[in-house]
Amino acid sequence: MKVIAFHGSPRTGGNTEILLHETLRGIDAAAHDVRLFSLNLMNIRPCQNCGGCDETGCCIIEDEMGPIYDAIRSADRIILASPIFFFGLSAQTKAMVDRCQAFWCEKYLLKKTIPEGPWGRKGLLLLVGGMKREVGVHCSETTAQAFFRTISVPHHPTLSFLGVDAKGAIREHPTALRDAAEAGEKLVAEQGYAG
Ligand SMILES: Cc1cc2nc3c(=O)[nH]c(=O)nc-3n(C[C@H](O)[C@H](O)[C@H](O)COP(=O)(O)O)c2cc1C
């Protein structure tokens, strides 16, 4: 399977990155084609709402979204990992998500969904928040759901951890790392939804 993962935190070695690495540890890299995008290190301009993708489903901005578009199109499994910032996805994550407006045009205006491979298309959302307020998960989840459906991913479980603030504090959580590894294993173990 082709697995792609988006790391949306600016904090290197932070909680989101630790959680994402545990998830990827649950995925046998020898058996699967795994590709990680560290969004904070990439040149991704925010969507300009220029209408350039309306009639083609292709974004006209030339930056590092190019390889991401290709990767999303051919992926069997897509992991979106973000810290909760101001009750939503991080800006790094949201910029990439907004640029998927090109896929929105392709799907809803041009009526073309991304075809799925033999394993179907499935997502996984990982969230970490420093506060203990569920509203951050709900807001992030709503945006992530729009992202996944737009890129023709019909199902995605969500793994969220709240009250995890200091850098690396996720390691102290009683179940987070195990939960993440298990979510990774499950992500590639399950068969496609088409049967
Ligand atoms: C700009 C900013 C905004 C934040 N807003 C929230 C928030 O709304 N809700 C929350 O639970 N935590 C919030 N936090 C805390 C982070 O979610 C928390 O520190 C998290 O562990 C960061 O993950 P990371 O180490 O992967 O960057 C915020 C942190 C920053 C820097």
pLDDT of residue 165: 98
CA of 167 to the centre of ligand 1 (A): 10
CA-nearest residue for atom 6, ligand 1, is: 85
Residue 193 has pLDDT above 60, yes or no: no
CA of 163 to the centre of ligand 1 (A): 9
Q: How confident is the model at residue 184 (pLDDT cuts 50, 70, 90)?
A: very high
Distance CA 136, CA 80 (A): 16
Task: With CA atoms as reference, report the closest residue to 14 among 40, 42, 44.
Answer: 40
Provide the H-helix boundaries in the chain: 15-25, 65-74, 91-98, 101-104, 135-150, 176-189
CA of 63 to the centre of ligand 1 (A): 27
pLDDT of residue 191: 61
pLDDT of residue 54: 96
Count of beta carbons in the 10 Å neighbourhood of residue 77: 24
Cα radius of gyration rounded to whole Å, the chain: 16
Mean predicted confidence (pLDDT) in 30-44: 97
